[in-house]
Amino acid sequence: MTLLRALKWMLSAVLALVIVAVLFVAVFGWNWLRAPLQQKVLGQTGRVLLIQGDLDVRFGWPWPRVQARQVSFANPAWAAQAQMLTAEEVAFSIHVPQLLAQRLSLSDLHLVKPVVFLEVGADGRKTWLLDRDQKDENARVAIDRLTLDQGVIGYDDAAGKTSIRAELSTLAKPADGEQTAGVSFKAEGKYKGLPLIANGTGDSVLALRDESTPFGLTIDTTVGNTHVQAEGHITSLLKFSAIDMQLALSGDNLNQLFTLTGIALPATRDYVAHGHLVRKGNTLRYDEFSGRVGTSDLSGWWQVETGGKRPLLTADLVSNRLTLEDLGPVIGARPGHLEAAIKAVTQTGAAGAVTPRAKRVIPDMPFKFEHWDTVDADVKFSAQSTRQASYMPLEALTAHLSLKNSVLTLDPLQFGVAGGHLDAAITLDGRHNPIAAKAQLRLKRLALAKLLPADQKGKASTSQIGGQIALAGSGNSVGSMLAHADGSVALLVSGGQISQMAMEKAGVHLWEIFRLTLSGDKQIKLSCAVAKFDVKSGFMHANILLLDTEVTTLLCSGSIDLAQEKLDLTLTQKTKNTSPLSLRSPIHIGGNFAKPIIKVDQTRMAARALGALALGAINPLLALIPLIDAGPGQDSDCVKWLQGKK
C-alpha cells in the first residue's frame, strides 16, 4: 500500500505541475520564453537572436510547432552582412528527440517576407554553421521542407567568385483551387566568375531534404555563354537524389560546362541539345537527346555514374552528317583554321589555293588536360556520312574514346577517306606535363584522284596511296607534340597515270613543254611515288623521296621542320628519254606549310644557257649540246625503295 500511495502522489504532483504550467501559459503566454531562448542561442553560437514579436508553441509529439514574429538572427562578425536572417514571421515544427540530442532538425520551415544572406569566408567558414567557429559541418539546421512567402536570398563566396541575389514571390493560386500557388523567382549575379541570370517557377514547398516528395521546377538560366532550360521534377534540392526533367542546353563550347558540372568535356564549336535528363541512384542519364555541334547533327545518349574514385562518363553518339570543320576545336585548331590548313596542304600549287590566315597550319591550341583527372570516360562516336568537301573527301568516321586516370586513348579511330581507310590508335598521357603522346596511323588504298583539286582529278585516276606513320612526342597541343616527335613516316603511291606536262615542267624540258602546248597534255604511266622519313626531335629527314614515271624519275632530299613548319627539300630529275632542249636543274621547295615556295636553281640554269650561247657562237648546232638530257632510261622498283633495299 505504501508503494501505491507513493505512485499516486507522484502522478498527482506531475499532473499538478502540468496544470500549473498550462494555467501559466494560458495567463502569461509563451513570450516569457523569448529571453531565456535568446540567451541560450547567444551562449551557444555567439550570435544574437532577437524575437521582437509574439512567440507561440503548439504541442505535438514528436513535432511541436513553434511560431515567432519579427525575428532576426545575426551573422558572425566577419561576414559582410550584419544579419543572416530577418523575417516578419518564422514558423517550424521541431523534432524533440533530435533536440534533446543537441541536433536541430526541422520538418518544415515557413518564412514570411524573409531576407536571408549566406556567406562563405575566405578561410572556408560558413555563416549557416552554428558553432562559434562556423566550421563544424554537423552544426547546421536540418530542414526537410521550406516555404517562402516572398523574400530575398543572397549568397556570397569571394574565393569561389560567386555572388547571387534572388527574389522570390508567391504566385496567385489557380482558380480551380486544386493546385498550390507555387513560387516564382529571379536571380542574377556571378557564378564562379561568370555572369548569371535566372528565372523560373516552382512548387510552393521547397523539398530540401525530403526524398519522398518531388519538387516541380521550371527554370531558364544563362551562366556565361551557356543557356539552360529545364522543366520537370527534382527530389531533394540539396542532394538531387532523383531527377526527371526535359532539358535544353546551348552554348559556345561544350568545355564551358566544366564550370557547371565539374566534368571535363572536349572543346567544340557552338552547340544545341534537347533531351530527357533522369537521375536514379548514382546514375545521371541524358537520354534520347538530339541537337547539333557547329553544323553537324548529333544524337544519342550519355550518362554519368558517381560513387567511384571519380565520375564515369559513358556515351554513344551518332552524327548522320558530319562537317569536318566541326572537329577542329577537338584537336586544338582555331576557328576556320582546319579547313584552310587542309586546303593549303591538299591544294598546294593549284590555282586559287587557299592558305590559312594564320601563318601556321598544324593545330596549336593547348588541350585543357588539367581537368582530365575529374572524370573517367568511355565514349563511342560514329558519323554515318559527311558533308563532302573538295579539299578532304572524308566519307565516314568511327571512334572509341577512353579516358582513365588522366590517360586519353582513341582506339580505334577510323576514317573513310577518298575511297580508302585511315586507321589510327592515339594515346595522350595527361599524367605528364607536357602530355606524352603516341600515334600509330595506317593508310589503306586512298584514291589519289579524290585528294587532288577539282581541275586535276583525272590526272591520276587509278593511283592509290598507302602507308603507315608511327610517332611519339610530348607537348600540350598537336603542334608542340609534333615539334618534339620521334618516329617514322612511310607512304607509297602506286599505279595510275599522271600529267606528262607536269613531269616535263619538273625536268624543265623546253622542247617537250613546247610540243605538248601545241598538241595538248596527255597522261603517262605513274610507276609509283615513295616517301620515307625518319623523324627525330621534330625534324623529318628524307630517307627516300621519289616519284617514278615512264619519262622521268624525280628524287628528293632534305628535311621538314615540324616545329617551325618549314620545308627544305631539293628535287633532282633523271630523265628516261632523250630531251633535245632542256634546262634541267635542281628544284628547291622551301617556305612553310601555309605557303610553300618552289623555285629552280637559277645558277645552274644560267650556266647551261650560257654554255649553249658560247657554243652557239662557234656553231649554232653546238648550242644544243648543253641542253640535251640523255637520261638513265630505267624504271625504279618502288617496293624495294620503300623497304630500303636500294
Residue 338 pLDDT: 55
Least confident of 95-109, 216-230, 327-341: 327-341
> Could you tell me which residues come within 8 angstroms of residue 424 by beta carbon, excluding any fewer than 6 positions away?
410, 411, 412, 413, 414, 415, 439, 440, 441, 442
Query: How far apart, in whole angstroms, are the C-alpha atoms of residue 467 and residue 460?
Result: 18
| Single pTM value for the model | 0.77
Least confident of 199-213, 341-355, 571-585: 341-355
Mean pLDDT of 609-617: 42
Most confident of 243-247, 319-323, 611-615: 243-247
**Residue extents of the structural domains in the chain:** 31-153, 485-642
Residue 76 vs residue 516, higher pLDDT:
76
Mean pLDDT of 360-389: 86
Torsion of CA 3, 8, 10, 11, to 10 degrees: 140
Predicted confidence (pLDDT) per residue in 503-527, tens digit: 556 555 554 554 556 556 667 677 7
Residue 342 pLDDT: 55
> Could you tell me which residues come within 8 angstroms of residue 596 by beta carbon, excluding any fewer than 6 positions away?
348, 349, 567, 589, 590
7-19 in b/e form (b: 16+ CB < 10 A) is eeeeeeeeeeeee
- pLDDT band at 43; cut points 50, 70, 90: very high
Check pLDDT > 60 for residue 224. Answer: yes
How is residue 211 written as a grid cell?
Answer: 526524398
Residue 267 vs residue 417, higher pLDDT:
267
Check pLDDT > 60 for residue 216. Answer: yes
Q: Does residue 250 contact residue 215 with C-beta atoms inside 8 Å? A: no
Residue 604 pLDDT: 52
Q: Does residue 529 contact residue 493 with C-beta atoms inside 8 Å? A: yes
Residue 433 pLDDT: 93
Residue 85 pLDDT: 96
Which residue's entry shows cell 587542309?
342
Q: Does residue 483 contact residue 538 with C-beta atoms inside 8 Å? A: yes
For the chain, give the mean pLDDT.
80
Determine how many CB atoms are found less than 10 A away from the CB of residue 239: 11
Q: Cα–Cα distances in Å, from 152 out to 130, 159, 205, 567?
A: 21, 23, 16, 65
Residue 593 pLDDT: 86
Residue 15 vs residue 156, higher pLDDT:
156
Mean pLDDT of 468-486: 94
Q: Are strands 151-157 and 115-120 parallel, antiparallel or unpaired?
A: parallel
Q: Cα–Cα distances in Å, from 125 out to 70, 154, 171?
A: 27, 16, 35
Query: How far apart, in whole angstroms, are the C-alpha atoms of residue 645 and residue 279?
Result: 63
Residue 4 pLDDT: 56
Comparing CA positions, the residue from 161, 131, 109 lying closest to residue 47 is: 131
Torsion of CA 199, 203, 207, 211, to 10 degrees: -120
Residue 624 pLDDT: 34
Predicted confidence (pLDDT) per residue in 268-307, tens digit: 999 999 999 999 989 999 999 999 999 999 999 999 999 8
Predicted confidence (pLDDT) per residue in 148-173, tens digit: 888 999 999 999 999 999 999 887 66
Residue 95 pLDDT: 84
Comparing CA positions, the residue from 285, 216, 270, 279 lying closest to residue 243 is: 279
- pLDDT band at 339; cut points 50, 70, 90: low
Check pLDDT > 50 for residue 351. Answer: no
Mean pLDDT of 488-502: 74
Mean pLDDT of 20-26: 49
Least confident of 10-14, 188-192, 606-610: 606-610
Residue 393 vs residue 612, higher pLDDT:
393
| Percent share of the chain, pLDDT over 90 | 43
Check pLDDT > 70 for residue 175. Answer: no
Q: Does residue 527 contact residue 548 with C-beta atoms inside 8 Å? A: yes
Q: What is the DSSP secondary-structure string of 476-538?
A: SSHHHHHHT-EEEEEEEEESSEEEHHHHHHHTTBHHHHHHHHHH---EEEEEEEEEEEEEETT
Query: How far apart, in whole angstroms, are the C-alpha atoms of residue 40 and residue 31?
Result: 15
Q: CA quadruple 602, 603, 609, 610: dihedral positive or negative?
A: positive
Check pLDDT > 70 for residue 635. Answer: no
- Beta bridge partners, 555, equal 546, 572
Task: Count CA atoms closer than 13 A to 472's CA, side-chain side.
Answer: 3
Query: How far apart, in whole angstroms, are the C-alpha atoms of residue 566 and residue 572?
Result: 20
Instruction: State phi, psi for 563 to the nearest 5 degrees.
Output: -70, -45
Torsion of CA 76, 77, 78, 83, to 10 degrees: 60
Phi-psi region of 618 (alpha: psi -120 to 50; beta: other; left: phi over 0): alpha
Residue 145 vs residue 14, higher pLDDT:
145
DSSP state for residue 12 in the 8-state scheme? H
Check pLDDT > 60 for residue 389. Answer: no
Query: How far apart, in whole angstroms, are the C-alpha atoms of residue 576 and residue 401?
Result: 50
Query: How far apart, in whole angstroms, are the C-alpha atoms of residue 198 and residue 202?
Result: 13
Residue 452 vs residue 288, higher pLDDT:
288
> Could you tell me which residues come within 8 angstroms of residue 543 by beta carbon, excluding any fewer than 6 positions away?
532, 533, 534, 644
314-323 in b/e form (b: 16+ CB < 10 A) is bbebbbeebb
Residue 353 pLDDT: 43
Q: How many residues does the chain have?
A: 646
Phi-psi region of 281 (alpha: psi -120 to 50; beta: other; left: phi over 0): left
- pLDDT band at 552; cut points 50, 70, 90: confident
